[in-house]
Amino acid sequence: MSDDEKGTGLATVFVSFLAGAAIGSGLALLFAPKTGKEVRDQIRDLTEDAVDKIKDYAKDAQDKIKATYESGKEVVMEKKTIISSAIEAGKEAMEKEKTRISEETKA
């Protein structure tokens, strides 16, 4: 399994954990013997915390995607240079062979 696949799996587990924790906390609050205002305040606090964590996770994911894109872009440029060099070498070899054949047919 590559590092990217491990990161994706870990990310999925982390998001699932956060979702489960939020749902469990919400249910616990709804069934707890507290006033409506207390429950609403707790739900609001938990929601704000969850939103902050999700924003942080999204920022981290965005940074990883950008880094992967840049890395891939560099690899593509490197391969493009190699392919261009190979094509140019092939053209030169073809021209040399044409010249050699042309000289042999004149002789």
Could you read off the pLDDT of 43-67 as tens digits, one per residue?
888 889 888 888 888 888 888 888 8
Contact of 43 with 29, CB cutoff 8 Å: yes
pTM of the model: 0.45
Count of domains observed in the chain: 1
User: Residue 25 has what pLDDT?
Assistant: 76
Range of the domain at 21: 3-106
